[in-house]
Amino acid sequence: MSVLLAALLLVPLVGGVALIVVRPPRGSVLAGLVIAAATVSLAVGAALRHPHGRLSLFDGVGAGFAVDDLSAVMVVLVAVALLAVLAFAAGEPALASGRFVGLMLVFAGAMLATVTATTLPPLLAAWEVMGAVSWALIAHHTGDPAAAGGARSAFLTTRAADLGLYLAAGAVLAGGVPSLSIDALPAVAGGWQDLAVAGIVIAALGKSAQLPFSFWLSGAMHGPSPVSALLHSATMVAAGAYLLLRTTAGLQATGWAGPLVAWIGVGTALLLGLVALAQSDLKQLLAASTSAQIGFMVLAAGVGAFPGGVLQTVAHAATKSLLFLVAGAWLVRVGSRRLDGLRGAARRHPVLGAAFSVGAVTLAGVPPTGLWVSKDAILASAAASGLALYIVGLAAGLVAAGYATKALWFVWRPSPATVDDSTVGRAGMRVQAVVAVALAVAAAVSGLLALGPDVLRPAPEPTVLELLLSGAVAVIGVGVTWRVAGRLPAPAALLSWLHLEQVARAAVVRPTVRLAALLARGDDLFHHRVVLGIGRGAVRSAHAVDRHVERGLDRGVDDLAAGARALGRTARRPQTGQLHQYYAQAAVGFGVLAALAVLLIGVS
Amino acid sequence: MLSVVVFLPVVVALALAALPATNSSRRFTVPWVLTGLVQLILVVVLWLGLPTSGYGFVEHVAWIPSAGISYHLGVDGISLPLVAMTIVVFTAAAVYSLREERRPKSYVMLFLALQAASVGVFVALDLILFFLFFDLSIVFMYFVIAGWGLGGRARSAALTFFLYTFLGSLALLLGFILIYLAATPHTFDIPALAAQNPLAAGGPVAGAALLAIGLGLAVKTPLVPFHTWLPPAHTEAPAAGSAVLAGVLLKMGTYGFVRIAMPVLPASWRQFAGVVVVLGVISVVYGALVALAQTDLKRMIAYTSVNHMGYVLLGVGAAGLVAQSDAQARQLATTGAVTQMVSHGLITGALFLLAGALHERGRTYDMGAYGGLAARTPRFAGLFAVAAFASLGLPGFSGFIAEFQIFTGALGATPVATAIAVVGILITAGLFLVALSRMLLGELRYPDAPGTPRPFPDLRARELAATVPLLLLATVIGVVPRFLLDLVEPASRVVNELVAR
């Protein structure tokens, strides 16, 4: 195991666990920043050196880790996002606890392990730890029941999908790949390959909040904003897209998985885009937009647009962490997450407002920002797979321009007459401004990465016509939405995230709970009636034996004894002690004997 | 050496018997803790000195030679981890009970005797010796529940427990006698029987023997539908008793499958492996679902034990489906099953001790009576959350190491059953998250004593010292499992070869 790789994984994980356990009263934030900074440098080192290592885990199955081209991009992305988010969160005193900072570090550390794992067991392990930590982070404000509900929904939904990975591991083994190596997916034999790929696809769709699992992201919005910033950018939801990009060869090998994944991705991009457009709460809007934007990455994996997907991941991570961090900062300052309540927020907080605007324009896919480039890189490959995919993808791009503009329009409206913004410490404000501006620059120029290394260089390259078309679509979307942003319809189906949560509750949760209650009652009945009944029956039959058989016997013995006693009493009566009576008895006796003798002689 | 490990608690108990029965509990509990620690040191010595194949530290003395019964002890890679886990759980229970106020002398002596019997089950290599320790554990546990039970129905629950499991052990004895009669020369010696394989041809006698043994072990494990003694016994038992009952006594059932049923009756095991798998899956899903519906914390944990033992059966059953899977898959399944026994002992032991700590403060196990404890008692909340996540099979804890191996090893042999069983980890996740939300999150709420608010302090040093090591060990196994698997794998390979012959 390479030292560099081990350090990259262990520094955030061990540091985070130490902070959670020790919970130092002061200095947690500083310690977290130091650890995050160290992680960034380790990630950069790992990206350059491409280390790999393998530990023995189970019989014939190793825990392999490696940094290849894809992982190199991901580890740097995760580490930088972690540092940015922790630096920004340092401005919020409510999030200065060792528990919070430690959990964030473990969260990011688990993502680092996910993106460097080369065999299924460590991938699944890190993947699930990430889900559990997301539970603790979303429920960070322990007194808030809505946060508890959101956290539960997030963990249970993603874990339901994770079951696919458990099955995939078994299928890969049964299909003749004893090492459980992820890259060996195309080599898995027969029907086991279909099962393995299906499992991986389901797990990835769940983690990435794609249809039909999207609803958990809505509940997750009850967590602190920096959590959302990290969860929506480089970790958790990005993990699903990453896994699909990692296994594109496996998806293609089955024949059915590629098109299925592509359609789910583009469908999520369109439908969740519409959901985002209907929201009146900034965090909900951003959350739905995450599902939609990840949909493009999933589409990329489905059509084999590997570099485009990676590019989209990077550009989206910068954009979305920026938008969530600013939304969180406004939540603290303005005290509202409703779009209506945020009117004029960008005017009153110009630096944050400018950064937010750059982020929103990027999210809209307006040229020349990062998401414009990455989306076109993906759509170019989609067009090669089929015109329908391309057209739906373009429509999703139009909707993206719409929801981004809607958010932008509200925060640039004139402020209401009375404004009651709270103030934030000066040092925290400066750090937040620096982080926001840096992320805005990153979001805007991330398209340049397309000219960089192979892993980010689109193939096939989008044509000039395609680039112009999608750019025009974005600009038109922005222009139209800017005019109608205040009076967009919000149908109930879209406002409630397509009723997905209600459907899941009605179709899965409630029947399960009802069945559980039924079984529990039956179990009690079985114990009390049958098990204890057998015991009671035994006691009852013992009583019956006692009453009827035992007492009968007892009485028989008693009667026998009484009879013997009576005989004894009778036998005592002749013994009077008076001689004349004995003579009389003897005379009677002899008389009887004589009569008997006569009788016997007579007979013979 | 093994005899020392087994009988050290008995010696200590006899020495304590000479002391007058006072209420100063430390005089009795401290020697109990020390006994456990000495045993642990001895176990470390055993661990380091265990041979790579076969049984180590064997003691073989003729006992009743005319009936083929001998005093035969030995450990291998399957029994030693269970011995270690047993002593760890008992020592944790001892630390937890340091301030036991109710008749401490008899309490400690009873637990010491139980400790000796429990270790004895796992090192016995003679069927009658196994049966003897197995039965003694039932007797001692009966007195623990009946004498120190917390609820009003302790005696009735103890009696149910005793009669139910005793009936099971009679079936076990019947099975042992059937095997004894089939062997030539007649013997109760486990390694000799495994080598001889007297019922290699299968047939009705072998089937009857497996049925009898399986029934006896299924009651103890417990498998659905023989599990109903478990929840009342747990609800009424004192915390230390529950921890030992779930942590150690249940393993005697599953251990019996691996140590006796699989190697001695391989033909029948292969024949009926499908039945074992189905029983395991039913226990997994049924246990999880019924646990989901519980409002009483201890009953909930008790039903999750049914669920967790179901995974063990799935693993050992899949290992019997020789035709459908390769050696590596069966190896993973068996190793996972053994790991699950160790893991469940540690995690459930911790959960029951934490439930006991909660009961000490609030005088009820009703989860609805508590809320928002994360703010009031952060140490309790943190440890309970860790134990809950460990129990729901989160990676990083021992449960994942066990369950992942079981699922991965079993899927190839029995895909449908495994796919159903995997749902069990989702339901347990759901029930533990609901419990965590109820008790730890939301508004602060805990039951008041009549008239006055109760003091509701966080975990004390004694309670921390009892639960933290259990969870720490579960974490160590979860993060660096090789030290355990290096021991288990060679032994489970031997078992698998015996089954497959």
- Whether A484 has its CB under 8 Å from any CB of chain B: the answer is no
Domain that holds residue A488: 323-495
Q: What is the pLDDT of residues A305-343, one digit of tens each?
A: 889 999 999 999 999 999 999 998 888 888 888 888 898
Is the sign of the CA dihedral A346, A350, A354, A359 positive or negative?
A: negative
What is the mean predicted confidence (pLDDT) over A9-19? 95
| Closest-CA residue of chain A to B410 | A170
Q: Are B112 and B9 in contact (CB under 8 A)?
A: yes
What is the mean predicted confidence (pLDDT) over A401-412? 93
Contact A173 B412 (CB under 8 A): yes
B97: phi then psi, degrees, rounded to nearest 5: -90, 10
Residues above pLDDT 90, as percent of chain B:
82
> d(Cα B29, Cα B6) in Å, to the nearest integer?
19
| Closest-CA residue of chain B to A139 | B441
Q: What is the pLDDT of residues A440-476, one digit of tens each?
A: 999 999 888 888 888 888 878 888 888 899 999 999 9
- Whether A92 has its CB under 8 Å from any CB of chain B: the answer is no
Which of A121, A128, A526 has the CB atom closest to B228's CB atom? A526
Q: Are B98 and B26 in contact (CB under 8 A)?
A: yes
Query: Looking at A382-522, which runs of residues are DSSP E strands?
Result: none
B80: alpha, beta or left? (left if phi > 0; alpha if psi -120 to 50): alpha
Q: Is A60 exposed, middle or buried (0-12, 13-18, 19+ CB in 10 A)?
A: middle
> d(Cα B77, Cα A15) in Å, to the nearest integer?
34
A344 in a domain, yes or no? yes
Instruction: For residue A52, name the pLDDT band (cuts at 50, 70, 90).
Output: very high
Instruction: For residue B452, name the pLDDT band (cuts at 50, 70, 90).
Output: low
> d(Cα A475, Cα A464) in Å, to the nearest integer?
16
* A167: closest CA of chain B, how far (Å): 7
Number of domains in chain A: 1
What is the mean predicted confidence (pLDDT) over A372-383? 91
The pLDDT of residue A120 is: 95
* Helix orientation angle between A69-89 and A98-116, rounded to the nearest 10 degrees: 170
Q: What is the pLDDT of residues B306-328, one digit of tens each?
A: 999 999 999 999 999 977 778 89
A388 in a domain, yes or no? yes
> d(Cα B476, Cα B394) in Å, to the nearest integer?
13
Q: HSE of B109 in the Cβ direction (CA atoms, 13 Å)?
A: 15
Contact A520 B229 (CB under 8 A): no
Token digits of residue B466: 């009892």
The pLDDT of residue A451 is: 85
Q: What is the pLDDT of residues B182-208, one digit of tens each?
A: 998 899 999 999 999 998 887 899 999
ipTM: 0.93
Helices (H), B149-238: 154-182, 190-196, 203-220, 230-236
Contact A513 B422 (CB under 8 A): no
Q: What angle do CA A291, A294, A299 make, to 5 degrees?
A: 120
| Per-position DSSP letters for B474-486, written without gaps between them | HHHHHH-THHHHH
Q: Which residues contact B407 (CB under 8 A, 6 or more apart)?
A: A166, A167, A169, A170, B336, B418, B421, B422
- Whether pLDDT at A55 is above 80: yes
Residues above pLDDT 90, as percent of chain A:
68
Token digits of residue A232: 């929506």
* B72: closest CA of chain A, how far (Å): 31
Rg of chain A, C-alpha, whole Å: 40
> d(Cα B169, Cα B149) in Å, to the nearest integer?
23
The pLDDT of residue A193 is: 95
> d(Cα A247, Cα A134) in Å, to the nearest integer?
24
Q: Are A340 and A410 in contact (CB under 8 A)?
A: yes
A353 in a domain, yes or no? yes
Whole-number average pLDDT of chain A: 91
The pLDDT of residue A367 is: 87
Q: How many angstroms separate the Cα of A407 from the Cα of each of A219, A306, A404, A478, A494?
A: 20, 30, 6, 11, 16
Token digits of residue B408: 């991965």
Contact B389 A132 (CB under 8 A): yes
Which of B160, B335, B441 has the CB atom closest to A148's CB atom? B441
Is the sign of the CA dihedral A453, A457, A459, A461 positive or negative?
A: negative
| Per-position DSSP letters for B48-102, written without gaps between them | HH--SSS-EEEEEEEEEGGGTEEEEEEE-TTHHHHHHHHHHHHHHHHHHTTT--S
Whole-number average pLDDT of chain B: 93
Q: Are A305 and A378 in contact (CB under 8 A)?
A: yes
Q: Are A173 and A202 in contact (CB under 8 A)?
A: no
Q: What is the pLDDT of residues B466-482, one digit of tens each?
A: 999 999 999 999 999 99
Instruction: For residue A423, name the pLDDT band (cuts at 50, 70, 90).
Output: confident
A380 in a domain, yes or no? yes
Q: HSE of A284 in the Cβ direction (CA atoms, 13 Å)?
A: 20
The percent helix, strand, coil of chain A (3-state, each to 5) is 80, 5, 15
Report yes or no on whether pTM surpasses 0.95: no
Using a CB-CB distance cutoff of 8 angstroms, which residues of chain A are in contact with residue B385? 136
- Whether pLDDT at B21 is above 90: no
Instruction: For residue B496, name the pLDDT band (cuts at 50, 70, 90).
Output: very high
The pLDDT of residue B451 is: 66
Using a CB-CB distance cutoff of 8 angstroms, which residues of chain A are in contact with residue B323? none
Token digits of residue B371: 């809320």
Q: What is the pLDDT of residues A337-366, one digit of tens each?
A: 888 889 888 998 899 999 999 999 999 999
- Whether pLDDT at B497 is above 90: yes
Which residues 489-518 of chain A have a CB within 8 Å of chain B?
Answer: 512-513, 515-517
What is the mean predicted confidence (pLDDT) over A44-72? 92
| Closest-CA residue of chain A to B439 | A142
Token digits of residue A312: 């989209």
Contact A512 B225 (CB under 8 A): no
Contact A173 B482 (CB under 8 A): no
> d(Cα B79, Cα B62) in Å, to the nearest integer?
22
Q: What is the pLDDT of residues B254-285, one digit of tens each?
A: 999 999 999 999 999 999 999 999 999 999 99
> d(Cα A383, Cα A461) in Å, to the nearest integer?
12
Q: Which residues contact A163 (CB under 8 A, 6 or more apart)?
A: A199, A202, A203, B422, B423, B425, B426
Which of B389, B395, B440 has the CB atom closest to A142's CB atom? B440
3-state secondary structure of A65: strand
Q: Are B466 and B92 in contact (CB under 8 A)?
A: yes
Which residues 98-137 of chain A have a CB within 8 Å of chain B?
Answer: 121, 124-126, 128-129, 132, 135-136
CA-based nearest residue to B377, from B454, B432, B303: B454
Token digits of residue A431: 């750090």
Contact A170 B389 (CB under 8 A): no
- Whether A537 has its CB under 8 Å from any CB of chain B: the answer is no
Q: What is the pLDDT of residues A249-301, one digit of tens each?
A: 999 999 899 999 999 999 999 999 999 999 999 999 999 999 999 999 999 99
